[in-house]
Each structure stands twice: as structure tokens, then as C-alpha cells.
Homo-oligomer: A and B are copies of this chain.
Amino acid sequence: MLVVKKFGGSSVADKERIFNVANIVTEEYRKGNDVVVVLSAMGKTTNNLIAMAEDINPKAPKREMDMLLATGEQVSVALLAMALHSMGIPSISLNAFQVAMHTTSTYSNAKFKRIDSERIMNELDQRKIVIVTGFQGINKNDDLTTLGRGGSDTTAVALAAALHADECEIYTDVEGVYTADPRVVPDSRKLKEITYDEMLELATLGAKVLHNRSVELAKKFGVQLVVRSSLVEAEGTVVLEEAKMESMLVSGVAVDKNAARIAIVGVKDEPGVAFKIFNMLAKANINVDIILQGIGRDGTKDISFTVPEDQLDDALAVLDENKGRFDAQKIEHDAGVAKLSIVGAGMQTHPGVAAGMFEALYNVGVNIRMIGTSEIRVTILINEDDCDKAMRAVHAKFFS
């Protein structure tokens, strides 16, 4: 059996944690399995490197930023290899060049194109644990690229796909995927299984357990993911195509506080206006989520939508620059909002789930400002202050 195990930055933050990882992977190795380990940079390394760069040049070229950041994972993988050697376990660290992990050239947000399996397979054949730098790749010029935040999850899944691994385990600080954030909802519970689609909705919506790109990739290549703790020995959550158990009505409640609402008030009610607006936001790489368009009145209409709060300034700047093109009466915005979502494959066949959510919120006096839905998800926009109360109420509705 070939297993890929990924550990995040806090799991390799210091000597003690590095040896903890060494013990976990050694246990798997001693079962006779082939083990590939993917690591992030230690603790706050990446943030420290970013701070150094910003001190020197706040607008540092992304190519050089990736050159800088790629060193973080290289340090982690070398240190883990040293730890394993001290325990007598054969191992070797490999960076993006050595593997080689080919990506597109979009620095700081590259995508995998192809991963060579030869070198890794060669090392595995010699019964070594192979430790690979997460988060990074090389482009066609042999320049280093990085995958953006959460990229190490993507590296793990991409490697698992390329190597036809039997399982891809993502080790985190939590024991698995919960029905809601346990810090906010104390009686939330760990899920044994969840489908890719459910996980994708949860990941996109702010459950920070897995990065959505990694879930998409896992779904695409049918990589079986397991989310589990690097601190506690406990069964994690399996992410797979179709839950083997009867799928639950709702599998999770997620909150995303990184949301802001923009309202474009009084644009002309004529074809093409929405296209113009969202096309220019897309070109500026701004992720628009829930969109609401009111019914026209007096020849004008209002368009509201949400963007990530950290993209609000960029979005407003784009709208301001181009305001001549859509002729609005005014543009309003509000950063004090949050998105609350329920996700569940069971929703497709059980009507009334959304209504149940709205009822729970009504009972605790939470005002719903916008609503968006997909086949297996209902998302609402609420005031950020209502977040915890709303989450508990909705969780209680579906899980007690």
C-alpha cells in the first residue's frame, strides 16, 4: 500500500513536533507500506519570510517572492529526514525540482500540470520514506512557483493522484471534519465520512480544515482523503465520492467571516449591465459569491453581491474606476457581515431544509440579509455580530 501523508506548519513547528511526525510516519512505514510525506514550512516561517520581503520591497515581484518562500518547505523536509535518520529509518527529502512537480507559470498561484513519479518511485523502491516539499512547483523555465495558501494540501492530493496512492491523509490540529466549528458549537460532532461535494462546499464556505483546491483535485482523480489529527490518535474523517452510510440531511454548518457586501444601487435596467459588472470584477480576480438582483423599478435596478472582505478595497476600486460604464446612482458596502452555510448531500432529496434553517434563525432573532443556494448547500448573509448565536441555533436544529 502507498500512502501520502501531509502535515501543516504547526505540525513541524519545532523539534518535538518534528519527531512527533517522524513517529507517525515511521509507524506507517513499519507496517510495510510505502510512505510519501508532504510538509509545509515550519510554524510561522512563511509569514516571517513575507515580512522580510515586505520590509525590503512592499511590491516585490511574485517570481522573487516564490523563490524566497520556497525555502521554507525545503528546511522542513531536510529536518524531518534528519530526524528519521536519527531513528534509523531510511528517508530522503525532495524539493519541487527533484520530484519534479511541474506547474503553470502563475507565480504565487500556480496550478499543477504534471508530476513526475520516477524519482519518488525509485526512492520508495529502496524502502525510503520520501519527504516532499509542499506548496511549490517549477514552471517551464525551471523557475520556482508556489500554489498559494493551502497549497500543501493540493501538493499532497496531486502527488497521491500521480503515484496512484491508496490513501492521502491530511494531518491537522483537529481530529477531523465537524458538523460545526467546535470552538463555537460545543456539541458539534466529528463526521466519519463526507462526500467530496459536501467537503467542497464546506471548504469554500470557510471550514478551514481542507483547502478547496485540494478537494476538487481529490474528486477529479478519485483520491481518497482522510482528515485526522497529528496530536491525538483517533479515527479521522474520510472524504470520498459517495458516503457509504445513508447520507445525512445536513453534514455541516460553516461560517465565513471574511465576507463583505457590495450594493450597486440604481443601475439602468437594461441587458448586459450585470455582465459588465461581474466581468470586470472577474478580470481583477475578485471572487464574487452570492449575487442578488432586485426587480427593476423606474427603469433602474439594484445589484448586490458578496466578496471576500480582504478583496473589498480592490473590488470598490475596480467599480470606481469603471463607474462610467454602468452608470449607477450609488455604490454601498458593508464589511460587518458573515456567511453562514449548511451543507448536505441529503438536501437534494429532502425539501424543507432551507425553511428549517430560516426558522431556527427567526427563533433567535437573526436577520437574514441575502440568500444563496446550490443543490447541496444553503448560504445566508447575516450581521457578523450574530454569527455565533446563529451557528449554534442552526446546528441545534439539524443535529440534536
Binding site for B on A (CB under 8 A): 15, 18-19, 49, 52-53, 55-57, 59-61, 63-65, 67-68, 70-71, 74-75, 77-79, 81-83, 85-86, 92-93, 95, 97-98, 119, 142-144
Contacts and interface: CB of A to CB of B under 8 A. Distances in A.
A78 B93 contact: no
B68 A78 contact: yes
A56 B79 contact: yes
A63 B56 CA distance: 32
A191 B49 CA distance: 41
A15 B55 contact: yes
Given A60-B86, A61-B82, A64-B81, 10 more contacts: A52-B75, A52-B79, A56-B79, A56-B86, A57-B86, A61-B81, A64-B78, A67-B93, A67-B95, A68-B74
Which residue among A67, A68, A77 has the maximum number of chain B CB atoms within 10 Å of its CB?
A67
Given A18-B56, A98-B143, A143-B98, A77 B82 contact: no
Contact of A83 (B19, B56, B71, B75): B56
Q: Which 8 A-B residue pairings sit nearest by Cβ, starting from the closest?
A: A68-B78, A71-B71, A57-B86, A57-B82, A60-B82, A67-B78, A64-B81, A64-B78
B67 A49 contact: no
Task: Count chain B CB atoms within 10 A of each CB in A19, A49, A55, A57 and give the residue with the most.
Answer: A57
A222 to B, nearest CB: 31
A85 B97 contact: no
Contact of A57 (B83, B119, B142): B83
Nearest to A84: B57
Given A64-B81, A74-B67, A142 B53 contact: no
A75 B82 contact: no
A294 to B, nearest CB: 46
A92 B63 CA distance: 9
Contacts of A63: 92
A57 B85 contact: yes
B67 A77 contact: yes
A64 B52 contact: no
Q: Looking at A56, A75, A143, which has the most chain B CB atoms within 10 Å of its CB?
A: A56
A171 to B, nearest CB: 19
